[in-house]
Structure 1
Amino acid sequence: MTRPPEILAIDGGGTRCRVACEVNGQRFQFESGSCNVTSDLDGSVTQIMRGLNGLAAEIGAEEADLLNIPCYLGLAGVTGAEKAQEVADRLPFQHVRIEEDRAPAARGALGRQDGALIHCGTGSFQAVQVDGHARFAGGWGARLGDEASAQWVGRLALSVTLEVQDGLHPASDLTRGLMDHFDNATEIVAFAANADAAAFGRLAPQVTKAAAEADPLAQAIMQRGADRLAFALAHLGWTSDMPVMLTGGIAPSFAPYFDAPLQAALTPANGTPIDGAISLAHDFRKEITG
């Protein structure tokens, strides 16, 4: 390491935690495990510090050398200022800003331009940014929200399969396939009682595949998700002259179900959440150094 980095940036999500910096114009990054400060604060702190230690080794520094550098963290499970302060109190950084993980995702995808973001992975949220200020909807987790996420799609497919068993819909290839997989309704209920978001999400590809093959029940699920996403954007202030970026594994599967103006606005994302975290870290450094 010829000189220390100016900033540290951390993007911590339910799947992985990325810790990054830039040295002499070159980005260095280390990836550790799952990080959600609401569901597992102790584990999240462990993964953040593991990532910091790994990054220090990557750039030829000691961990202690990085603790006085301005550090920006966008973390899953930060539900407000009180939670952010609780996390900050557990970390050794001297200059730290902690926000929810939606903020770096929006900055990474949109940059500083006006536009909208639809993120649908295992979880989901929506954002509309105007004049550098972003408004968010969703991202409240599998129990209370995350509509149109992969877990939501998988869970809804099982609900529809049970409705078929009750005679409320004709069976389709999707529901027959799910019933074959689980054998019977009792097994579906038992699975759902213990399944986490990732387990439900692993069922989503069966739904998107069936929808692409014109399965009516699968298409109804995808349409319901697309309608919810469009509803959120409209209430966040999106207008048809603003670009819309899709991120997350299942998000592109909703595109055929959007109305024409929303389809026409779809644009590739500018960058990733860690790109956004680095950008926000530079903003933070400017604030504290003047």
Structure 2
Amino acid sequence: MIESHDSAVLAVDGGGTRCRVACEIDGAVHCSETGAANVSTDFDGALKQIRAGLDALSRQVEIKVEDMIGWPAFIGLAGVTDAGIAGRLSDALGLTNARVEDDRPAAVRGALGAQDGLVAHCGTGSFIAVQADGAMRFAGGWGSVLGDEASAQWVGRRALSEALCAYDGTQIGTRLTQSLLTDMGGPAGIVRFAKNASPAQFGALAPQVTSEAKEGDRVAVQILQAGSDYIVEIANGLGWQPGRTICLTGGIAGHYATYLPDNMRSAVRPPLGEPLTGALALAKEIRNEHL
């Protein structure tokens, strides 16, 4: 049994795929993992997953949940869009010393640590963030309908659109566009698919695009160049400065590196850690504020 937990902190990193609940006690990290936790799309379901993670963590470290929820905590969850939903979640969990935010700050702190730099996260969804002098600025992350440019779902959706343009004769036909038209059953099949496809289903087409781009397919290259151009535009708008680290996180982000300008490509570095690492670091900041 762990006896001393005066310096303990609690962290949650939850998204559309999984929820990870962790604590750090005297330098030792303990973690449990449960299912998806997005508080906007399914508040009760997310709450259930967090509670299950807390219960599992409690058994692991042999400390009661009611004791752990009083520790300094950072809760980073997909779907925390305003203070109202953050407060609702904090009240439901009984948290007394916690910051509840969306999942982006933890991802940035995990990737960059305390150093200045930029994170371009492009998974199924996307966001871009700059960290400078300890402050973070964000752009994107508004979902597949209104944003998520350069994400995997954006790449897949863009590829289908270009395939339709190739069918119309307003875009060049390539192996990518022809394969999509054939696989989907022609233009009508593409329209039927797109009508009900989820972001994940659009995103599942992205590997085909990145693979064809490596072979020089002109349409595939155009799509990845457009995604890269978006990253450059937003990075400059957020104030990224040459020489500062760039971390490309998420399943498709690394494929944009080749298309970045030289001053950005030379700044690309692997992320220092995972979002959960960042969440724990942010929880420690909360603890230190009260020392």
TM-score range, shorter chain: over 0.9
Shift of 1:53: 1.1
Partners of 1:124 and 1:258 lie apart in 2 by 17
Alignment gaps of 5+ in structure 2: none
Structure 2 contact 2–61 (Cα < 8 Å) conserved = no
Equivalent residue number for residue 197 of structure 1: 199
Partners of 2:31 and 2:72 lie apart in 1 by 16
Partners of 2:266 and 2:73 lie apart in 1 by 38
What CA deviation, in whole Å up to 9, does each residue of 1:50-104 have, x standing for no partner? 1111111222333333222222101111122222112222222222210111101
Shift of 1:23: 2.9
Q: Is 1:71 aligned to 2:68, yes or no?
A: no
Query: 1:53 pairs with 55, 69, 78, which one?
Result: 55
Partners of 1:24 and 1:239 lie apart in 2 by 37
Partners of 2:194 and 2:281 lie apart in 1 by 40
Equivalent residue number for residue 37 of structure 2: 35
Secondary structure of the 1:44 match is helix
Partners of 2:3 and 2:128 lie apart in 1 by 39
Structure 2 contact 232–260 (Cα < 8 Å) conserved = yes
Shift of 1:22: 1.7
Structure 1 contact 3–23 (Cα < 8 Å) conserved = no
Partners of 2:202 and 2:93 lie apart in 1 by 33
Query: 1:139 pairs with 141, 147, 153, which one?
Result: 141
Query: 2:10 pairs with 8, 22, 26, which one?
Result: 8
Partners of 1:62 and 1:147 lie apart in 2 by 43
Alignment gaps of 5+ in structure 1: none
Counterpart amino acid of residue 89 in structure 2: V
Structure 2 contact 110–277 (Cα < 8 Å) conserved = yes
Query: 2:178 pairs with 176, 179, 186, which one?
Result: 176
Secondary structure of the 1:77 match is coil
Counterpart amino acid of residue 179 in structure 1: L
Q: Is 1:225 aligned to 2:227, yes or no?
A: yes
Secondary structure of the 1:78 match is coil
Counterpart amino acid of residue 23 in structure 1: I
Query: 2:19 pairs with 2, 10, 17, which one?
Result: 17
Taking structure 2 as the reference length, the TM-score comes to 0.95
Q: Is 1:255 aligned to 2:251, yes or no?
A: no
Partners of 1:146 and 1:22 lie apart in 2 by 33
Partners of 1:63 and 1:191 lie apart in 2 by 45
Query: 2:129 pairs with 119, 123, 127, which one?
Result: 127
Query: 2:95 pairs with 79, 93, 111, which one?
Result: 93
What CA deviation, in whole Å up to 9, does each residue of 1:112-159 have, x standing for no partner? 111111111111111111111111111111111110011110111111
Alignment of 1:209-248 (within 5 A): 209-248=211-250
Secondary structure of the 1:143 match is helix
After TM superposition, the structure 1 stretch with the greater mean CA deviation from structure 2, 55-64 or 204-213, is 55-64
Structure 1 contact 52–63 (Cα < 8 Å) conserved = yes
Shift of 1:32: 0.9
Shift of 1:195: 1.3
Secondary structure of the 2:145 match is coil
Equivalent residue number for residue 84 of structure 2: 82
Partners of 2:278 and 2:132 lie apart in 1 by 16
The percent identity for this pair of structures is 47
Structure 2 contact 69–96 (Cα < 8 Å) conserved = yes
Counterpart amino acid of residue 202 in structure 1: A
Secondary structure of the 2:21 match is strand
Structure 2 contact 149–230 (Cα < 8 Å) conserved = yes
Shift of 1:4: 5.6
Structure 2 contact 9–25 (Cα < 8 Å) conserved = no
Partners of 1:252 and 1:262 lie apart in 2 by 13
Equivalent residue number for residue 114 of structure 1: 116
Structure 2 contact 2–62 (Cα < 8 Å) conserved = no
Secondary structure of the 2:171 match is coil
Equivalent residue number for residue 208 of structure 1: 210
What CA deviation, in whole Å up to 9, does each residue of 1:161-183 have, x standing for no partner? 11112121122111111122211
Partners of 1:55 and 1:189 lie apart in 2 by 46
